[in-house]
Amino acid sequence: MVLALVLVWAAVAAVLVLLYCIAPGELTAEAIKTAEIFYGLNCAHRGLHSQDQQIPENSIAAFEAARNEGYGVELDVQLSKDGHVVVFHDNDLNRACGVDAAVSSMDLGDLIKLPLFGTNECIPLLSDVLAVLGDAPVIVELKSPGADHNELCRKTLDILRADGRFWCVESFDPRVVGWFIKNAPDVLRGQLSCRPWEYNNTSKLMAFLLGNLMLNFLSRPHFVAYSTAKRSFAVNLCRAIRPVNVIWTVSTGDDIHLCEEENDTVIFEYYKPAPRFKTRPG
């Protein structure tokens, strides 16, 4: 009898610890207003780029194409060596520019000379991208390849605050998302996540924690942006607690209808859906 009670209380304690770890943050009035703009919105992943990269990802051409179709956009930001906020996904320049160097190791003047995937497009500044997007809502993913993320968060926030459109932020790094709790609690913030074995350059323990949202106590995100893969119990539990849910990156091989049905915002690539896939009832 005593053993049974101990086991029951241990199970209750484990559930409470799990709930504490994965619980999302409370939405502020400002965050709710932003979330309403993104509800039912299709957002072009790294702009409306082509699979052959003739319209390169994260390029001015890709963002103009997304704007012209009426989509929201998702983009990635990081810092150049001299502290400019540039729009670029990878930590290094190998895949997109054929240069064996980190983005953070080069000044802006050198970065903008590099063609993206052999085209006439180059790496843009965040401010330049915003200037061509019209009023398109923007999901900004903050990359954190270095140890100090504070400068990137601060500079990105300053640029976005000055812009005036609807935008939100997200990151795989809970420290980045957590920075916005302390410094901009009104901003709609999201935790990016995927299956544990899909994380690179981290320990198995850290990948397990990140993939199951067990570091949400550091970031208390308003939404979770999870991959198209099957979700774990912890991820589904978090989604049930705070049903503001984003999925990435939906493509032609996925069940597009199901992705739209189960999520509030879809980040997509390589096809052209309607700009909006649902609206709030009533």
Within a domain: 25: no
In a domain, 173, yes or no: yes
Question: Percent of the chain at pLDDT above 70?
Answer: 96
> What are all long-range contacts of 197-205, with beta carbons under 8 Å and residues at least 24 apart?
198/227, 198/229
Assigned domain for 27 exists:
no
- Residue 202 within a domain: yes
**pLDDT (0 to 100) of residue 281:** 76
**Segment 160-193, tens digit of pLDDT:** 999 989 999 999 999 999 999 999 999 999 999 9
pLDDT at 147 over 60: no
209 residue type, one letter = L
**Percent share of the chain, pLDDT over 90:** 87
The answer to whether residue 148 scores a pLDDT higher than 80 is: no
Q: Distance between CA atoms of 157 and 142, rounded to whole angstroms?
A: 10
Note whether residue 6 is domain-resident.
Answer: no
Query: What does pLDDT average to over the chain?
Result: 94
- pLDDT of res. 6: 63
Q: What is the CATH number of the domain that holds 68?
A: 3.20.20.190
Average pLDDT over residues 32-49: 97
| Structural domain includes residue 109 | yes
Whether 172 is in a domain gets the answer: yes
Q: What is the pLDDT of residues 123-141, one digit of tens each?
A: 999 999 999 999 999 999 9
Show Cβ contacts of residue 90 under 8 Å, excluding neighbours closer than 6 positions.
96, 103
The CA distance from 170 to 149, in Å, is 13
- Give me the number of domains the chain comprises: 1
> In the prediction, which pLDDT does 13 show?
81
Amino acid at 257: H
Q: Cα(153)–Cα(56) distance, rounded to whole angstroms?
A: 25
User: pLDDT at position 8, please?
Assistant: 64
Question: Is position 278 within any domain?
Answer: no
The C-alpha atoms of residue 194 and residue 210 are separated, in whole angstroms, by 8
Residue 245: give the domain boundaries. 33-268
